Amino acid sequence: MKWASGMAILALVLLVAAGTWSLFPRPDVPPWEEETAAWGAKNAVAAIVLGARLWDTLFEVLVYAMAMVGVRLALRPLRRTEPQAPLPETPLLRRAADVLLGPIVVFAIYLAASGHLGPGGGFPAGALLGSGLLLLALAKGADRLGGELHEPILERGEYGAIVALLAAGLGVLFLGWVGGGLFVGLNLLIALEVAIGAWVVLHHFASSRGEV
C-alpha cells in the first residue's frame, strides 16, 4: 500500500507527459497586433487582461479581496494583546529603508501607470508596493508600522478600490469605455488593492504569531 501513491503519481506524470508530447512543435501565434492597438494598448498581455478578459480579472481581484477578508477575520481571535518587545533594529536597515522606500514607491507607480505600454501592470506593481511595506516593517517593526498605517483607512481604500473596479467594469459594459486612460486607472486601482492585501497578510501574520 505504501507504493500505491507513488505508482499513482508516476502514472499521472506519464499520462500528462504523453498528452503534452503532441503540443510540440507549437503552432504560429495568431496575429495580435491590430487587436492590441484597437484596445488602445501596446502590451498584448495588458490588452488581454484588461480588455478581452476584463471581467475575469475583476472577479480575480474580488477573489483576492475575499481571501484577504478571510485572513483578517480568521486571525482576529488570535491577535496578541500584550505588547511585544521590539526587535533590536540595526541602523543599516533603517538607512536602507529610508533610501530605498521612495524609489520603490515611484517605480511601482510607474509600473502601474505604464503597464499597458510595456512590461508591468497592476499586479506586479502591487507586489512591489507590498514588498516595500515589508522592508519598512523590517526596519521599524510590524506593530509600530501597523499603528502608523490606520487600519480603517486601509480597509476603506481596499473596499473602495473594489467598488471602483466593478464600477469601471459596468462602465465598459454599458457605456462602452475603452482606451489607454481606462487601462491606467484600472492598473492603479489593482495595484492599490494588491498592495493593501499584501500588507494585510503581512501585518496579521506578524501580529498573531511570531515576528517579522
Partner 1 sequence: MDGMAASALAIALVGLGFWTLLRRRNVIWKLLGLNVAAGGAILFLVAIAHRPQARPPILGLGPGQSADPLPHALVLTAIVIHFATLALSLVYVIFLTERRHSQDVHKLEEER
Rule CB under 8 A: which residues touch partner 1? Answer: 5-6, 8-10, 12-13, 16-17, 20, 23-24, 26, 28-29, 32-33, 36-37, 42-45, 47-49, 53, 56-57, 60, 63-64, 67-68, 70-71, 74-75, 78, 118-119, 121, 123, 194, 197, 201, 204-205, 208-209
**Rounded least distance, CB 67 to partner 1, Å:** 4
Judged by beta carbon, residue 26 or residue 176, the one nearer partner 1 is 26
From the number of C-beta atoms within 10 Å of its C-beta (0-12, 13-18, 19+), residue 96 rates as: middle
Min dist CB 91 to partner 1, Å, is 32
Q: What is the nearest approach in angstroms of partner 1 to the Cβ of residue 119? A: 7
Nearest distance from residue 193's CB to partner 1, in Å?
Answer: 10
Cβ(114)–Cβ(38) under 8 Å?
A: no
Rounded-to-integer distance, Cα 196 and Cα 157, Å: 8
Which secondary structure element, helix H or strand E, spans residue 107, and what is its range? helix 91-113
CB nearer to partner 1: pick between 88 and 210: 210
Structure-derived torsion over alpha carbons of residues 196, 199, 153, 210, reported in degrees to the nearest 10: 160
Q: Give whichever of 23 and 99 is closer to partner 1, judged by the CB atom.
A: 23
Nearer to partner 1, 12 or 170 (CB): 12
Compare residues 77 and 88 and give the one whose CB is closer to partner 1: 77
Amino acid sitting at position 39: W
Instruction: State the chain's maximal CA–CA distance in angstroms.
Output: 61
Q: Alpha-carbon distance 212 to 106, whole Å?
A: 24
What CA–CA distance (Å, rounded) separates 73 from 65?
Answer: 12
* Least distance CB 188 / partner 1 (angstroms): 16
The x, y and z cell numbers of residue 76, run together, are 482576529
